[in-house]
A and B are shown apart, each in its own frame.
Chain A
Amino acid sequence: MLNDPKNYSENVKAFQPRIPYVKNSLKAFLVGGLICLFGQFLETFYIHFFHFTKQSAGNPTVATLILIATLMTGFGIYDKLARFAGAGSIVPVTGFANTITSAALEHKSEGIVLGIATNLFSLAGAVIVFGVVSAAVLGIIRLFIEKAF
């Protein structure tokens, strides 16, 4: 019985399209994996040709990926890639670059300070907050474990 306001949200489930989790996961794995593979290629490139160490090569690698994702966002390609890839293009650092660039583009019309600067981290802010907080918590845990042993 669908005409039951109290239990509508439960009863209407039979009418909902199924989300293809397996297909989505495979697509995300494929695209996310390819982005990471490309990142690995960049890192090896920086180590071999610009004599970075394995530790320091991460910086130019991430910078290059961010630059590419930012350009792709500006040219209107990244959101089309994401429509196919789902989580595959959100999780890597390129997804982070996309959130910041897209917010900047969107709020350009409201000015540099109140538009771009204010809204730049409107999507990325949550990632930064939880990133910093979890890093701090894990850092403290690690400190205690190191002291204990």
Chain B
Amino acid sequence: MSQVRKQTWRFDHPIYIAATGTVVGPLEAQGPLSGHFDKAYKTLDCGEKTWVEAERALMRRAISFCLAKAGKAEGDMDLFLAGDLMDQTVTSNFIARENRIPFLGMFGACSTSMETLAQSAQLVDSGFAKNVLCAVSSHNATAERQFRYPTEYGGPSNPTQTFTVTGAGAAIVTREKGKVRIREATIGRVIDWGMGDPNNMGTAMAPAAADTIWTHFQDTGRTPEDYDMIVTGDLSSVGSPILNELLIEKGLDITRVHQDSGLMIYSPEQPVNAGGSGCACSAVVTYGYLFKRLAEGSLKRIFVVATGALLNSSTTKQKDTIPCIAHGVVLESAKEET
């Protein structure tokens, strides 16, 4: 691996995503990307007794789809990198208890999807692992319960509020030739520009996304024209225009290629206020829809920047502001490499 300036890693070896697995809940299945997921549960409880177990079922199924598509077993994996939004990332821990793969738990809030993917690629590139399984999950009801109110509580909603995506995404990172290649990763810095409203994460996270995207273009010397898409994690309809404006002020216009996972996964008519959020938001969009587009070659190169708000429910009540982060991974179609 070689480091391109301070924050960007360029992988020396060809690193591929062998296969992905994506599972979503009922509302995501009604969205515009419904056909691109491996499974959609009809109910939010996923047939389990508690929300916590429902989220675990999501991650378990996403992993089993991923392994099956790659034709591999749990025993073939050298490492398992996973994270979620629950306290102490229990979903990941408990799945690791089942699959017995050597495990590194990760947390970067909603940026965990790209954090795990970047770290997996780095471990495979450096030769410490041959096959790495990475996974993230989020569940609307477990997130609501932890960060906001009980599921059945009827409170007013704010137009800047986002809606946690119910789902899980898994990917296998390997040196074996595949259809999608991981080229680079840009690791974000924690940015806090003084926003403290937990119901307005898009505004809080936009500067972090802007920082990572700006740094990426500085490090690599590329321009937005070199990308078919720059996809942010969950800036929503509020944060996306702010991101574009922040970059335009610095002379970098990505509006033509920018999309946000939180706006791709739901249609505007769905009751999600500003859009989707959560670890699974960027994960299912990337591993479901974008992975397919890259594999078939209709997208050549994309930059996925997952954004995370690194707060808990106490810090905002204690009037602290929200530290935010964004990690980006460059994915390329490897269809024409053969």
Contacts and interface: CB of A to CB of B under 8 A. Distances in A.
Given A5-B207, A8-B207, A76 B245 contact: no
B75 interface: no
A78 interface: yes
A87 B149 CA distance: 16
Interface in A94-112: 95, 98-99, 101-103, 105-107, 109
Nearest to A13: B203
Given A8-B207, A17-B238, A83-B157, A109 B152 contact: no
Nearest to B321: A9
A55 interface: no
A123 B156 contact: no
Nearest to B239: A15
Sorted from nearest, which 4 A-B pairs have the closest CB atoms?
A: A82-B154, A106-B150, A102-B150, A86-B156
Contacts of B194: 5-6, 8-9
A106 B152 CA distance: 8
Majority secondary structure of chain A interface residues (helix, strand, loop or mixed): helix
Interface of A: 1-3, 5-6, 8-9, 12, 15-19, 24, 73-74, 76, 78-83, 85-87, 89-90, 95, 98-99, 101-103, 105-107, 109, 123
A29 B193 CA distance: 38
Nearest to A81: B154
A6 B321 CA distance: 13
Contacts, number: 97
B249 A103 contact: no
Contacts of A17: 159-160, 237-238, 274
B97 to A, nearest CB: 19
Interface in B137-189: 145, 149-160
Nearest to B53: A109
A19 B149 CA distance: 21
Nearest to A69: B154
Contact of A5 (B149, B193, B245): B193
9 contacts: A2-B242, A9-B193, A16-B203, A17-B160, A79-B151, A85-B154, A90-B155, A101-B152, A106-B145
